[in-house]
Amino acid sequence: MTQPLTLSSLPLFPLNSVLFPGGVLALRVFEVRYLDMVRKCRQAGAPFGVVSLIQGSEVRQAGAPEEQFSDVGTLAVIEQMETPQPGLVTLRCCGSQRFRITRHSHLPHGLWIADVDHISPDLPVPVPQDLQQAANALAQVLHTLQQRDPDAASAIAPTAAQLNDCGWVANRWCELLPVPLGLKQQLMELDNPLLRLELVGDVLEKTGIAPAP
């Protein structure tokens, strides 16, 4: 049996959102613990880990409960980094591989680090005919978003191959749909991309976004 790839001392960024593989994440960073982290990651060409918060807030507050977060997250690769003013860094990151935390610890200045195992990427699964409407509707939505704001994180120009891949289509819908954070996390963790798209298709059908054929 193949052993999972591991990564030690991965810096974590707990957020009130779920990063999916292939997704785009825009961040404004101003806390000292994260400013230092993202600069070091950028310099080393290394990713950081995005995990969804279960308890606590993104920004440390006096007397607030300590952050608790999901044990499955996604690596964020920094694609663009700018410093518009002192003490503020803006990032554009791309979601890469999913991971599972095996051990985590809290450094004195507030940064979380973890040892993680990589989770295998989704296998490419063609979109079946009964879910084709979900792919077609996604193409229309992304086209509209790109026309409105070409620089927006959600304004992705999909390829034909991406629109015929269950995992990619499901992930982009998960980012767009206003569903609870916990549900997004559960969908992201699913190993079966076809099942993920089927569940997303149920939501699209109930909301009338992509009616069943």
**Among 118, 145, 171, where does a domain finish?**
118
Q: Is residue 16 part of a domain?
A: yes
pLDDT digits (tens, 9 = 90+) for 158-168: 899 999 999 99
Q: What is the CATH number of the domain that holds 150?
A: 1.10.4060.10
Final residue belonging to a domain, choices 118, 147, 180 = 118
pLDDT in tens, 176-197: 999 999 999 999 999 999 999 9
pLDDT for the residue numbered 210: 62
* Structural domain span for residue 95: 6-118
Q: Strand ranges (DSSP E) for the chain?
A: 6-15, 24-29, 48-55, 68-69, 72-85, 88-106, 112-118
**One domain for residues 103 and 133:** no
Predicted confidence (pLDDT) at residue 1 exceeds the cutoff of 50? no
Same structural domain, 134 and 53 = no
The candidate with the shortest Cα–Cα distance to 78, out of 119, 19, 150, 134, is 19
Query: Is the domain of 84 the same as that of 46?
Result: yes
162 with 99, same domain: the answer is: no
Kindly state whether residue 1 falls inside one of the protein's structural domains.
no
- 12 lies in some domain: yes
pTM of the full predicted structure? 0.90
Let me know whether 188 and 155 are in one domain: yes
